[in-house]
Structure 1
């Protein structure tokens, strides 16, 4: 190997956090290059990784009775998008005990929230662009709770009787290694082993639950001989990692099926069940109502996870069954279930596009109030227009990561949708546009630019004034009733 080639490999390995000996031992003769450490998201540049696309996660987890310690094995199936000599996984805090790529041991280095895997030369020589490969990572430890820039908490949250994993925007790496950017969606199998008496709920469909062991340990923790239950969940439609969840607790569970064949699975903390269950009974009705407006429900299952109010600071649209801290209202159910179309099925291209999630989910609440309450959507628009908090910044351009969940993304985002409805001036065409949008990008990712282009093509209208004023404009317009279409 020429000296210049050796120097280049050593430099690349040093950037990845490796040593010279590791590089020359594992990477010599490999023609590929390391995948990027991050996808340059405008708000989270280190989130996600380059060089590969995950197609499936198989996560095997064991959690103790306190839900404070986790042991896991992650089997990750991915397709190389370049010739790879090494690649990154996002993982925060947990200890890695070993890793293989294509069944052979791989060198592992840690650098903050980055886990760097360097296959041996024989394996790396086969990691060519377009090739599918399998990575296995074994890990354990106490999963972390993260504090976001806005002061809220995500990641692994301890609850009254267990824990819940909430991933928006960057909490997923606290409990499993992966490519944690919304642009890399995959299918999932999640098997969680918990002590008997606890239930583990995740996304998708429950495919099995199996009891093992013959006794109970004196410490109350899961160990050899103690009775445990393994719950296995499968998500067959692509899911962004921030929507993946595991909730562990003493839940009361119910399963039913809608007239359209969608499985509805709910898991409710017994302490709030009496208050929550009457509202949860409306889930099939809300799904049917939203399907009429947004298109067929995109998943095989739906439902809810309901903990106590003190267990989390917010609800979250975890795919298939949103998470609620305390009994949800009808409006909150409408909001989080609307996310199954806007955010979960059609997922933002990056975190700058959050208004495509929250603006449409908030507008779904306005529509529900219009049809099931006594508040026309126009009145909700006027209230939002009068709220100073909605004018702090344009919804499509939050200033920092701390603002991606602030009022303009929700309230002014919904105002954009309402102005579009007024510009179309025909409800049949407006809802056809929404159904067309969710169909065109079903199970994929989409950006603000793609939405605005789609809306103009679908309507045949010049909507540039609408976007410039309501989506990108600085400050509140002087006239809330001024037309958004060019004069004819």
Structure 2
């Protein structure tokens, strides 16, 4: 599919003497690779498994200027590599070292292709150190300028606009962030703080995750921020990051998180990480984002009067639910996105029913009415259409939100509420800190139900039209107009 030059070489080797072919083939030019994700074919890289990232940023107080950065990647080779491909674009590379020795490098597409002095053998550890800049301008994800600094929004494929990486959720790793900023500002990142060092007019803040994380979930906040602390269930550290000027105004919203944590733990089990909190930023992103342990929210969500309280509450629960579904259990490929967004939308809707008298059945019936139009426009839940070129957020269509929550509703109707609840809890327990696929979910559901559900899932996850809803034969889905919108 993607590794064209390598596959060509393999085909030639199969039809001629290995010695002859190796002697006559020209050297293969460095090029972008990928792990063959159906939606982002050049994302991720074969040949190694990242174990940890150690990333240092230096921010000088101007969110229109590139940050200085050093990214250290510790990995283990899964095969012999003459070259190491990293996802990285939009910034300048100053130098690269492999295991402490200077290495040659070139860019190819959105890959940084590194040639070490000697090949990296299969099974061996390798450290790649890249000294680079990190440019916060240009949009398209990655750094997002705020009214007082920067935050990150890397979903789905934009982390490599910020730092060199294996930028695919299939390769999770632990992270350390070392963020140097003017001392009047505060830096916060995923995980927990481990050090804070002041040197003259700057302060370096260091954070480390205790659990592996996908690159798309990385978060660094720099700004004139207050960090507000409280406790969640069993003493869980809850820390929120908000603009200093808004601390008192936002407190009623921040105070809701411990109760929401308790509610979700009753649904699916213990919270999977070392801390949680809200990062409320002065930015107009058009979305909220489940960055691991520190979910990103627009300030306007909490300050605009037209948003009713129940609606804001449900969005808070949506991003919190992602900490289990999408963060702790990450998608194996981006076609598995429905498992993230469908579950978050499901618990968002369930919370609204229990706390704001917004009937789940009513919401799901409306989703059913619109479902055929959503499938026509965006593809079925587990086989979504590719995003528009250059617009990765176009992947996040209605079919992966309520269109996928509808699949979970149908599944609960099919197997019963008790078995469905067991499935949810077993899913996040069995795949904690890992990645999982649609096939893993359907297999577990069949095991718990005690019968083969492959026909059910084939229709609901891959069908062009929406199957009949178990228990609701009267529900109808409107035929889509041309262009995929329902009548």
TMscore range, shorter length: 0.7 to 0.9
1:55 maps to which residue? 51
2:351 counterpart SS class = helix
Is residue 397 of structure 2 the alignment partner of residue 423 of structure 1? no
- Alignment of 1:265 with 2:281, yes or no, is no
Residue 251 of structure 1 is matched in structure 2 by 225
What secondary structure sits across from 1:133 in the alignment? Answer: strand
SS in 1 for 2:235: coil
Q: Which residue of 1 aligns with 2:37?
A: 41
Does the C-alpha gap of structure 1 residues 467 and 159 become closer, same or farther in structure 2, counting only changes over 3 Å? same
Asked whether 1:280 is paired with 2:254, we answer yes
2:298 aligns to what? 325
> How many angstroms does 1:145 deviate by?
3.6
1:446, 1:238 → 2: CA distance? 14
- Asked if structure 1 preserves the Cα contact closer than 8 Å seen for 2:82 and 2:116, the reply is yes
Per the alignment, residue 396 of structure 1 pairs with 382
Contact 1:158–1:311 under 8 Å retained in 2:
no
Query: How far did residue 170 of structure 1 move?
Result: 1.1
Shift of 1:330: 0.9
The aligned residue for residue 223 of structure 1 is none
- Report the equivalent of 1:97: 94
The answer to whether the aligner puts 1:114 opposite 2:114 as a matched pair is no
Q: Show structure 1 runs of 5+ residues with no match.
A: 18-35, 148-153, 214-226, 484-488
CA distance, structure 1, for counterparts of residue 182 and residue 286 of structure 2: 27
Shift of 1:11: 2.3
1:65: which partner in 2?
A: 61
Aligned CA distance change for structure 1 residues 294 and 276 (closer, same or farther; 3 Å): same
| Aligned pairs for 1:32-431 within 5 A | 37-67=33-63, 68-121=65-118, 124=119, 127-140=120-133, 142-147=135-140, 154-213=141-200, 227-308=201-282, 310-326=283-299, 327-328=301-302, 329-387=312-370, 390-392=374-376, 393-402=379-388, 403-425=394-416, 427-431=417-421
More deviation, 469-478/173-182: 469-478
Q: Quick one: distance in 2 between partners of 1:235 and 1:56?
A: 10
Correspondence 1:443 to 2:440? no
Contact 1:145/1:174 (8 A) holds in 2: no
**Number of residue pairs the alignment of both structures matches:** 437
**Residue 461 of structure 1 is aligned with which of 446, 451, 464?**
451
Relative distance call for 1:267 and 1:282 in structure 2 (3 A) is: same
Whether the 8 Å contact between 2:134 and 2:162 is mirrored in structure 1 is no
CA distance in 2: counterparts of 1:6 and 1:209, whole angstroms? 56
The Cα offsets for residues 65-94 of structure 1, whole Å up to 9 and x where unpaired, read as 012321111111000000111110111121
Give CA-to-partner distance per residue, 1:428-482, whole Å, 9 cap, x none: 3321111101111111111111111111111113323432332222124466745
* 1:141 positional shift: 5.1
Determine if contact 2:136/2:145 at 8 Å carries over to the other structure.
Answer: no
Equivalent-residue separation in structure 1 for 2:285 and 2:247 (angstroms): 17
Q: Distance in 1 between matches of 2:472 and 2:462?
A: 16
CA distance in 2, matches of 1:251, 1:4: 61
What does the per-residue CA deviation read over 1:389-414, in whole Å, with 9 as the maximum and x for residues that have no partner?
54433111111124521001101100
Relative to the length of structure 2, the TM-score reads 0.85
Distance in 2 (CA, whole Å) between partners of 1:478 and 1:177 is 46
**1-structure distance, mates of 2:237, 2:383:** 38
